[in-house]
Each structure stands twice: as C-alpha cells, then as structure tokens.
Structure 1
Amino acid sequence: MGAVYGLAKDFVFRAAVEFLKGKKVLTKEEYKFLDAESRAKAFTVSGYTSLGVLQEFLDCLQKAAEEGTTMGQFRKDMNRFLEEHGYEGLNPWKSDNIFRTNMQAAFNAGHYKSMTDETAMRLRPYWRYRTAADGNVRESHAVMEGRVFRADDPIWDIWYPPNGYKCRCMVVSLTRKQVEKLGLPVETVVPHGVDYSTGEIIPAMPDKG
C-alpha cells in the first residue's frame, strides 16, 4: 500500500508542477479583465508591472514545486533577483503570502487531477471537505467541515479549494467502506447559511477572503 500511496503522491507533485508551468504571466491591470476560467491559467503579483520580474516569481515557484524549495529559500532567491534589478526585497509577510497562496493552489490542482482519474473515481467515489480546524478558519468555510458528497456532485464546482486568500482547506477522497466505517452521511443538499444583511436563509457559499 505504501508504494501505491507513493506513486499517487508523486503524481500530485508532477501535476502541481504542470499546473504552474501552464501559467502565463500578466500584469495586475491585464489580470483584472479576465474571467474566472482565464484567471485560473494566469499568474500575477500585486505591485509589479515588469513581465520579467513576474516571470522570475513564477520560475521560483516552479522550482519550489519541483525541488521542494522552502519558503525561506524562495524569499532568499527572489530578494537576490529583486535587489539586483533595483527593487526592494520582499518582507516575510509578502513572501509568505505569495508562496503559500500559489503553492496551495498548485498542490490542490495536482490533488484534484489525481482524485479525478477514472480509477480513483471508481474506487474512491466520495469526497470529504476538511478545514484546518483552528481559530483562523473562515466561518463560511467551517460550515463545510467534515461534510461528504459524491465526487461527481456539482457542489464541488463551487466548493473545491482553495477558496480564496490563504485558504488552507482540502478535500479527501474516501472509499464506500471508509464512509460506512466512519458513519458519515453522504449529503446531496448544499448547506445553508444566513445573509446577515437581510436575515434571509441562503445556500452557503465560500467566502473568498
């Protein structure tokens, strides 16, 4: 079983690298005119307009996915490049934001690709939404914690993470036996929440942050 898991893990890493390599650098001004589908294939960093600088950001992120570069090494590499080209280096907060947001998106994309493989869908047809389960989880994301839906349920078109800024949520695939053993109900209805401005009960939607 370990070998199978290892192969799946390698597949996720390769798919994450492919996801980043498929990105096209754009300025923030160009990015804001894109629709959601096009944005998924674009890459930009706030505060930079040079395509050369943006490409270096993307290259360093690709290196991190391929070689397991740490966030600290990413900041060191980028700061060396930025300072050599007359820019101020990244502070820890900004480098953390850029690194975590993009790496989380890449690995979730890789994870999604592995889970939607034909064999995986047949053997593990249920998906469970998991949050980081700490005090920093958005209230709108917490409403989905632990819920199980079929892998082909349309809810995942809306709720598959990451769901916005620094989202740490993930989806775990399950077999029928795992669902039964854990006593998890397989839901078919989107959970509901309250629109606090009107008091209206509405379908829960992820807060993008």
Structure 2
Amino acid sequence: MDTLEVEFLSMKVPVSYNEYKTLPDGCKNYAFSAFKELNLDIVKEILESLLYTKRSDIPGKEWVNEWKKKGILTKEELNLIYWDNMRAALIARKYSQLIKDVDIAPWWQYIAVMDLGTTPAHAAMHGMIRHYTDLIWDIWFPLNGIGCRCTIRSLSPEDLEDKGINPHKIPTGLPDMKEVIANNAYNPDFERLIKPKFAEFNMEGKLNISPDKGYANNPGTDLMRWLEIKDKYSKEEWLKLLKNA
C-alpha cells in the first residue's frame, strides 16, 4: 500500500455525475463520480470500496468482478472507474517523487505509449522536454484523458548531454511543428498518429491542442495542495471553496 495513493483517493468527494460534469477541470481531482448517474449512496460505496482495495492491495480484477455481481455497472464501466482512479493516484505519487528529484533531474519528458490506442494529441506531445517549472505541466501532466497511459520521465543534465540537447535551448509551452517532427524522427507511426494533427497548429506554429475535456489539470499538484491544507478544511469544504473561487 502506498500512502500517497491512498491520500489521493481519500481526498475525493463523492458527487453525482451531473455535478461532476459541471466542475472546472481544476476541481475534478477532488471529486469522484461513477461516469454515469447513480444514487449518491452507491457512488460513496464505490469510492469506499476503491479505497479498501488500495489499502488492502486487492487486485483490480477482483474488485471489478465483485462489483459486476451487483449488476449496477457493466464490466467496461467498472474497468474505466478502477483504472482511471488508480492510474491517477499512481501518477500523483510519481509527481511527488519527481519533485523530490528536481535538484538532480530538473527536466521532464512527456512519454506516450505510441501504439494503436494512443490518442493523436497525446502522441504529438510524445518526447517533449520542458523544465519542471514550465507552466505546461499544470495542464499537460497525465492523466490527460480517459484511459490515458502517458507518463513523465525525469532528465538530469547528464541525460540531456547524452541526447545532445542544450538545456538553454529547450523551449517553453506547447511544442511547435519542428519540435514534434524532431521528437519523432525514429517513430514509425509518425504519419498515422501525429501528422493528422498538423491541421491543429496555430498561426505561430504551436500545437493548438489540449488534454481531453475534464483532464486539463495535474493530479500531483492537486494532491500536494490538499496535503498542505487538509488540517484546515474538510474535503467537502475544500471542494466548495474551489468551485466558488
């Protein structure tokens, strides 16, 4: 059991699906929904069972099978709920580790899986390197969509040197077309996955893309923020404050 992953799931407030859909992206990591309209008591039960599963190291397949027997949600819906939340918790923990290592590895690289299931917009971000302080990580930090399998790799000055990259020439913000092409020079799926997105470059040559709706946030920074203030507010009070900000 990982304490930070449990903390991430514990900070979530069960809400109806209708309410969840109306929340700003910056609030969504603090809320929990079942991706369809259900009785709120059932939503609470699902979240509590996910927490129990994480604390007890119960396999995801076992959790899905147990809930499938209840006949409330399909296997596909249950898999979505389980993996979306557990993956976000894992990424939040990873962010904490990345931050601890910034003195030795202050650059981060976006890594997509790059297979048939990779979203084109996520594929276009593959290979992008930015300093950890770049504001792009407030938005383009996994998860960046339902079923997102992207991750972040940390890079040290030595790593950049090995790649022949001058740290003083690393851009900021979204990559431009030249950078995307360079990042995928040896990618056999470039034509299929990335080139179709060229129509979405803006007039300055920057990518005009964003994470999937509801995912323009950073699970890691949201968790760190919660850990700083959780002694001052209940999670319900905190979500309300954010909604009204």
TM over 0.5: yes
* TM interval, short-chain normalised: 0.7 to 0.9
Cα pair 2:68 2:74 within 8 Å, conserved: no
Structure 1 residue 14 and structure 2 residue 28: aligned? no
Q: Secondary structure at the match of 2:22?
A: coil
Within 5 Å, give how 1:93-172 maps onto structure 2. Answer: 93-117=76-100, 120-172=101-153
The CA distance in 1 between the partners of 2:202 and 2:46, in whole Å, is: 44
Cα RMSD, aligned residues only: 2.4
The CA distance in 2 between the partners of 1:192 and 1:160, in whole Å, is: 18
Q: Offset of 1:107 from its aligned partner?
A: 0.9
Cα deviation code 1:63-97 (max 9, x no counterpart): 333233222111123235xx3xxxx2433211211
AA partner of residue 82 (structure 2): F
Tell me the residue number matched to 1:91. 74
Change (3 A) 1:188 1:51: same
Cα pair 2:200 2:207 within 8 Å, conserved: no
Tell me the residue number matched to 2:62. 73
Structure 1 residue 175 and structure 2 residue 156: aligned? yes
Q: Secondary structure at the match of 2:152?
A: strand
Tell me the residue number matched to 2:209. 205
User: May I ask how many residue pairs the two structures share in their alignment?
Assistant: 190
The CA distance in 2 between the partners of 1:196 and 1:100, in whole Å, is: 32
- Higher-RCO chain (CA-CA 8 Å, sequence separation at least 6): 2
More strand, by proportion: 1
TM-score by length of 2: 0.69
% identical aligned pairs: 25
Unaligned 5+ residue runs, structure 2?
178-196, 214-245
TM-score by length of 1: 0.79
Q: Secondary structure at the match of 1:122?
A: coil
Change (3 A) 1:134 1:34: same
Q: Offset of 1:18 from its aligned partner?
A: 0.5
Unaligned 5+ residue runs, structure 1?
1-9
